[in-house]
Structure 1
Amino acid sequence: MAAAHPMQPHATHDETAEQLFVRDLKVWLTEEVEPVHRAAAAALDPGAQNNARVETVYAGLHAQSGFRAWASVRRTSQEMLWDAVGASVARQSAALAETAALPAPRGSVTLAPDFVVPRYLADRDVHLMPGGYGLDDGGVGQGAVMDQGGAVYMLGRNGGQMNDVRGHTVAAHIFARYPGFEPARILELGCGVGASAVPVAQAFPDAELHAVDVGASMLRYAHARAEHLGVAIHFAQDDAEHTRFADGSFDLVYSCVLMHETSEAAMANILAESLRLLRPGGVAVHLEVPQRYEELDLWGKIRGQIEMDYNNEPAWKAAISVDFDAMLRAAGFAEVAAGFQDATSQPQRGGGGFCGESKGVFRSWFVVSGTRP
Structure 2
Amino acid sequence: MFNRRTLLSASAATVAAAALLPGAKVYARGKAGSFPGDIEPRGTVGRVERLPRLDLESQQDFLTGLRGWVNKDLTKVCQDRTARILEKNGLDPKADISLERALELLKDDPILGTRWRTWISLQQATWRQLLDEFHGNYDRYMSEMEAADKAGPGTLELNPGMKLPDYTRHEIHLQPGGYVGDPFAGHVYHYGTNNFFADRNNQDELHIEQARAIPPPPADGKVRRILDMGCSCGQMTVALKERFPDAEVWGIDVGGPMVRYAHMRAVDLGVDVNFAQRLAEDTKFPDGHFDIVTSFILHHEVSTEASKKIIREAHRVLRPGGVFYPIDFFTHGELAHPKQAFERVRYWWTHRWNHEVWYYDYVNVDYLGEMSKAGFIVDQNGPPARSVYKVNLMGVKRV
Relative to the length of structure 1, the TM-score reads: 0.84
- Residues 64 and 167 of structure 1: CA distance in aligned 2, closer, same or farther (over 3 Å): same
SS of the equivalent of 1:240 reads coil
Match of 2:344 in 1: 301
Stretch of structure 1 that moved more, 329-338 or 306-315: 329-338
Q: 1:183 to 1:19 in 2, by over 3 A?
A: same
Give 1:279 deviation, angstroms: 1.3
Q: Which of 53, 77, 84 is equivalent to 1:36?
A: 77
Cα-to-partner distance string for 1:171-214 (whole Å, 9 max, x where unaligned): 32316x84952321111110001011000011111111111111
Q: Does 1:111 find its partner at 2:163?
A: no
Which of the numbers 98, 113, 127 marks the counterpart of 1:53? 98
Cα distance in 2 for residues equivalent to 1:91 and 1:2: 20
Secondary structure in structure 1 of the residue aligned to 2:362: helix
Structure with greater Cα Rg: 2
The answer to whether the 8 Å contact 2:293/2:324 transfers is: yes
For the pair 1:191 / 2:231, whether they are aligned, the reply is: yes
Q: Which residue in the other structure is 1:219 paired with?
A: 259
What is the distance in 2 between the residues matched to 1:91 and 1:41? 43
| Preserved contact between residue 321 and residue 397 of structure 2 (Cα < 8 Å) | yes
Does the residue aligned with 2:322 lie in a helix, a strand or coil? strand
> Structure 1, unaligned stretches of length 5 or more?
344-358
| C-alpha distance in structure 2 between counterparts of 1:321 and 1:297, whole Å | 18
User: Which residue number corresponds to residue 68 of structure 1?
Assistant: 113
Structure 1 residues 298 and 57: alpha-carbon distance in aligned structure 2, compared to 1, 3 A threshold: closer
Partner of 1:131: 177
Distance of aligned partners of 1:34 and 1:226 in 2 relative to their CA distance in 1, 3 Å threshold: same
Q: Please list the CA deviations of residues 68-106 of structure 1 after superposition, one character each: whole Å capped at 9, or x if unmatched.
A: 343122211100011122223335544434443145412
Show the 5 A alignment for 1:282-301.
Answer: 282-289=322-329, 292-294=335-337, 297-301=340-344
Q: Which amino acid aligns with 1:231?
A: V
1:232 aligns with: 272
Which residue of 1 is the match for residue 250 of structure 2? 210
Aligned residues: 348
Superposed CA RMSD in Å reads 2.7
Match of 1:311 in 2: 354
CA shift in 2, pair 1:178/1:151, >3 Å: farther
Change (3 A) 1:278 1:342: closer
Measured at CA, do residues 191 and 19 of structure 1 come closer, stay the same or move farther in structure 2, by a change above 3 Å?
Answer: same
Deviation for aligned residue 1:255: 0.5
CA distance in 1, matches of 2:293, 2:383: 18
- Which letter does structure 1 place at the counterpart of 2:123? Q
Query: AA paired with 2:345?
Result: I
Change (3 A) 1:366 1:193: farther
Q: Deviations over 1:212-257 (max 9, x none)?
A: 1111111111111111111122211111122222222212111000
- Could you tell which deviates more after superposition, 23-32 or 211-220? 23-32
2:68 corresponds in structure 1 to: 27
The aligned residue for residue 125 of structure 2 is: 80
Q: Is the 8 A contact 1:247 1:276 kept in 2?
A: yes
- Aligned AA for 1:10? L
The alignment status of 1:254 with 2:279, answered yes or no, reads: no
Q: What is the rounded CA distance, in whole Å, between the counterparts of 1:220 and 1:318 in structure 2?
A: 29
Question: Post-superposition shift, 1:35?
Answer: 2.5
Residues 167 and 197 in structure 1, CA contact (< 8 A), matched pair in contact too = no
Would you say the 8 A contact 1:5–1:225 is kept in 2?
no
2:54 to 13, 16, 32: 13
Tell me: CA distance 1:49–1:5, structure 2 relative to 1, closer, same or farther (3 Å). closer
Q: How many percent identity over aligned positions?
A: 27
Task: Give the letter aligned to residue 108 of structure 1.
Answer: T
Shift of 1:56: 0.7
**Residues 41 and 112 (structure 1), Cα distance of their counterparts in 2 relative to 1, 3 Å cut:** same
Query: What's the secondary structure of 1:254's corresponding residue?
Result: strand
Q: 1:294 to 1:145 in 2, by over 3 A?
A: closer
Residues in 2 aligned to 1:142 and 1:113: alpha-carbon distance in whole angstroms: 14
TM-score (norm 2): 0.79
Q: How does 1:300-339 map to 2 (within 5 A)?
A: 300-339=343-382
- Return the alpha-carbon distance in structure 2 between the equivalents of residues 365 and 304 of structure 1: 18
User: Secondary structure of the equivalent of 2:343?
Assistant: helix
* Contact map agreement 2:172 2:357 (CA 8 A) in 1: no
Q: How does 1:353-372 map to 2 (within 5 A)?
A: 359=387, 361=388, 364=389, 366-372=391-397
Give the 3 Å change call, closer, same or farther, for CA 27–50 of structure 1 in structure 2.
Answer: closer
